[in-house]
Each structure stands twice: as structure tokens, then as C-alpha cells.
């Protein structure tokens, strides 16, 4: 982080933070080549119904293998992609690859038409003027039924430009694509948008899920989110479910779907069919 020099307005890097900036610059230049050097991979995490553990879809998550550092977490490199604008081509790559893969699974009978592939959209992706057209093109080019695609956005992504976002969401609803609000409850935003916009799912953030068995406040928050969603006709997905006890609480609260290490970690494409076969 840069500290402003009071007298001449020059940016001064403090010794402690300078290495961080170097690391970031290093990541940035390495990321520029990640696509062409084939260092990106997609993993898929199954989403299943809370009752009966039926397969309802999968969330696609991006992975990057740096030639020297090895696997780098998306929590580290997505912000760099976001700041540099690289998220636009990378996001397009994720969207197209995921649609292509899911279409193949549909054709092979691995997944059903009542399930969906969920793709995350960053704030910058969501601001792209032609995003609706890009999504439509990805669907058309891959042959994926639009009803088999869900897009995940956070509240803050939506709030950044609510007017443009609302137009886009209606365009997507018209296509048949579903919308999930990711990390629900962690942002600072009003709930008013929920009644006006075509949203299909609320995803309860892992921060409310992980201690739900012991923390009454977390349970109260989850209960409220589920009640709110159901009253508005939305479905609820809990994320980060790691234990049976957590699942039991979510079942008592009437949560619809979940994903998490308890059912499965995100896996490479080759491994998903086996996980789905174990569902029923
Ligand atoms: P997210 O969309 O909230 O994704 C859920 C994160 O929780 C994933 O982390 C997933 O691996 C992790 N997770 C799932 N189940 C469990 C569990 O039981 N326990 C724990 N501790 N963690 C669990 P991941 O893959 O590291 O992704 C982090 C974030 O990076 C995502 O959060 C999403 O915001 C972003 N991201 C990942 N892939 C993409 C992408 O392709 N495009 C964009 N725009 N963002 C992405
Ligand atoms: Mg997500
Ligand atoms: Mg999430
Ligand atoms: Mg999350």
C-alpha cells in the first residue's frame, strides 16, 4: 500500500509493504501469460439437495498453476485479474469452457436437464456493456440450454450499478438463465432489490454456515435468510457445509440445497461423473 507524502504528493512505499507490491507485480505479469501457457484449470463442486442429496448442479471454480509457485488460490489471483482487466478474457474463457463441458455431460447423460452449471461473475465482468450478448453467444455456440446455466453475483457487484444490472438481469431472465446471489448476507446492501429483480437463488455464505451448530446467532441469520428467500419464492443454497451436524441444522431450517466438503470438494471434470453416480 502506498502512503502519500504530505508535502509533494509523491507516493512512498513503506519497507514492509514493498515486498507485497513486488509479489503482486510478479503475479500480474505471470497472469498475463497464464491463458496462452495453459496454466488455468476448472474444477467443479457438486451442489445437491439437502433432502435426499440429489444432484442439482455444480459450481465451476477457476484454478491457476503458477510455473514456480504451484497452485495459487483464486482469492489471491482473482483480485489481480479484476484490477488489471484480465478478468474479462479469463472470465469469458471460464464461461465458454464451463458451458462446453456441461453440454457434453448433458449429451452423455451424466447430468440432467433439471440441473445447472453455476458460473461466478466478478464486479468488472458484470459491468461489461455487452455481457448479455456474450452470454447469449456462449450458450448458442456451445448448444447449452440456457436453463442449464446459472450465474453467481454478489450483492456488491449488483449494487455497484443497479440500473445497468437490472437491465442485464432481465435480459438473462428472458434468455432463461438463472441468477444466484453469492455470499448473501455479507455485503452492505438493502433488501429492496430482491423484490424487483429476477433472482432465483440466495447462497448463504460459509461464514454463517460453519458454526451454525454452536452459534445461535448464525443459526438465526440462516433461518432468516431461508424464510426471506422462501417468502419471495427463491431457493436457498448453503455453501461450505463440512459436517453432518451442519447439514442436519440446515435440514431443520428448510434449506433447499448445499455444497461443501461434506458432500465433495471441487473436482476436475473427469471425476464429476463418479460423484454424481453416488448421489442416488
Ligand atoms: P465463492 O464463489 O463463494 O466459492 C466458494 C468457495 O468456497 C470456493 O473457494 C470453494 O472451493 C470453497 N468451498 C466449497 N466448499 C467448502 C467447504 O466445505 N469448506 C471450505 N472451507 N471451503 C469450501 P475457491 O475455489 O477458493 O474460490 C474462492 C472465490 O474465488 C469464489 O468464492 C469466487 O468468488 C472466486 N472465484 C473462483 N472461481 C472464479 C471464476 O471462475 N470467476 C470469478 N469471477 N470468480 C471466481
Ligand atoms: Mg460462487
Ligand atoms: Mg459463494
Ligand atoms: Mg463465499
57: three-class secondary structure by DSSP: strand
Is the shortest distance between the CB of 266 and ligand 1 below 6 Å?
yes
Q: How many CB atoms lie within 10 A of CB 142?
A: 18
Beta strands in the chain (DSSP E): 2-4, 11-13, 40-49, 55-66, 70-72, 116-120, 149-154, 178-184, 201-204, 235-238, 257-258
- Give the per-residue pLDDT at 11: 52
Is the separation of the CB atoms in 124 and 80 below 8 Å? no
Rg of the chain taking only CA atoms, in angstroms: 20
Could you list which residues have their CB under 5 Å from ion ligand 4?
A: 183
Q: Could you identify the atom of ligand 1 that is nearest to the CA of residue 203?
A: 3
pLDDT in tens, 219-230: 999 999 999 999
- Give the per-residue pLDDT at 10: 46
Residue with the three cell numbers 458451458: 99
Is the shortest distance between the CB of 253 and ligand 1 below 6 Å?
no
Q: Which of 257, 237, 220 is nearest to 182 (CA)?
A: 237
Is the shortest distance between the CB of 61 and ligand 1 below 6 Å?
yes
How far apart CA 274 and CA 110 sit, in angstroms, is 9
How far apart CA 258 and CA 97 sit, in angstroms, is 24
Q: Which ligand is in closest contact with the Cα of 150?
A: 2
- With a threshold of 0.90, does the pTM exceed it? yes
CA angle, residues 182, 38, 91, in degrees to nearest 5: 30
Q: Which of 74, 84, 93, 180 to mutate to test the pocket of ligand 1 (most atoms within 8 A of CB)?
A: 74
- Name residue 49's beta-bridge partners: 257
Question: 231 CA to middle of ligand 1, Å?
Answer: 27
**How many Å from the N-terminal Cα to the C-terminal Cα in the chain?**
51
Is the shortest distance between the CB of 16 and ligand 1 below 6 Å?
no
The torsion defined by the Cα of 153, 166, 179 and 40, in degrees rounded to 10, comes to -40
Is the shortest distance between the CB of 132 and ligand 1 below 6 Å?
no
How far apart CA 226 and CA 236 sit, in angstroms, is 6
Q: Could you identify the atom of ligand 1 that is nearest to the CA of residue 94?
A: 41
How far apart CA 132 and CA 257 sit, in angstroms, is 27
Q: Could you identify the atom of ligand 1 that is nearest to the CA of residue 73?
A: 26
- Give the per-residue pLDDT at 54: 97
Question: 76 CA to middle of ligand 4, Å?
Answer: 14
Q: Which of 144, 198, 142, 189 is nearest to 166 (CA)?
A: 198
Atom 24, ligand 1: residue with shortest CA distance: 74
Question: 139 CA to middle of ligand 2, Å?
Answer: 20
Q: Which ligand is in closest contact with the Cα of 47?
A: 1
Q: Which of 242, 214, 213, 236 is nearest to 224 (CA)?
A: 236
Is the shortest distance between the CB of 46 and ligand 1 below 6 Å?
no
- Give the per-residue pLDDT at 4: 41
CA-CA-CA-CA torsion sign (177, 178, 183, 186): positive
Q: Which ligand is in closest contact with the Cα of 122?
A: 1
pLDDT in tens, 10-50: 455 444 556 677 777 788 999 999 999 999 999 999 999 99
How far apart CA 87 and CA 176 sit, in angstroms, is 25
Reported ipTM exceeds the 0.90 cut: yes
Is the shortest distance between the CB of 45 and ligand 1 below 6 Å?
yes
50: three-class secondary structure by DSSP: coil
Residues of the chain with pLDDT under 50: 1-10, 13-15
Question: 218 CA to middle of ligand 2, Å?
Answer: 20
Amino acid at each position: 500500500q502506498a502512503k502519500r507524502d504530505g508535502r509533494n504528493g509523491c507516493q512512498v512505499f513503506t519497507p514492509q509493504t514493498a515486498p507485497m507490491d513486488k509479489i503482486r507485480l510478479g503475479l500480474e505479469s505471470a497472469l498475463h501469460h497464464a491463458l496462452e501457457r495453459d496454466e488455468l484449470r476448472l474444477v467443479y463442486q457438486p451442489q445437491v439437495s439437502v433432502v435426499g442429496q440429489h444432484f442439482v448442479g455444480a459450481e465451476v471454480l477457476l484454478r491457476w498453476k503458477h510455473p514456480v509457485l504451484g497452485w495459487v488460490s483464486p482469492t489471491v489471483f482473482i483480485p489481480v485479474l479484476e484490477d488489471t482487466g484480465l478478468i474479462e478474457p479469463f472470465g469469458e474463457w471460464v464461461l465458454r469452457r464451463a458451458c462446453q463441458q456441461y453440454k457434453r455431460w448433458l449429451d452423455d447423460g451424466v447430468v440432467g436437464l433439471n440441473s445447472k452449471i453455476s458460473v461466478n461473475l466478478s464486479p468488472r465482468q458484470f459491468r461489461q456493456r455487452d455481457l448479455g450478448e456474450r452470454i447469449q453467444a456462449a450458450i448458442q455456440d456451445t448448444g447449452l440450454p440456457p436453463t442449464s446455466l446459472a450465474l453467481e453475483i454478489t450483492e456488491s457487484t449488483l449494487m455497484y450499478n443497479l440500473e445497468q444490472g437490472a437491465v442485464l438481469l432481465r435480459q438473462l431472465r428472458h434468455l432463461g438463465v438463472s441468477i444466484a446471489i453469492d455470499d448473501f448476507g455479507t455485503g452492505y446492501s438493502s433488501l429492496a432489490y430482491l423484490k424487483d429483480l429476477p433472482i432465483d437463488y440466495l447462497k448463504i455464505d460459509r461464514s454463517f454456515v460453519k458454526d451454525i451448530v454452536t452459534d445461535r446467532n448464525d443459526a438465526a441469520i440462516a433461518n432468516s435468510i431461508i424464510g426471506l428467500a422462501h417468502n419471495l419464492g427463491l431457493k436457498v443454497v448453503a455453501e461450505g457445509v463440512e459436517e453432518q451436524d451442519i447439514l442436519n441444522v440446515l435440514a431443520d431450517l428448510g434449506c433447499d440445497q448445499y455444497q461443501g466438503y461434506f458432500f465433495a470438494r471441487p473436482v476436475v471434470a473427469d471425476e464429476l461423473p463418479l460423484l454424481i453416480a453416488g448421489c442416488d
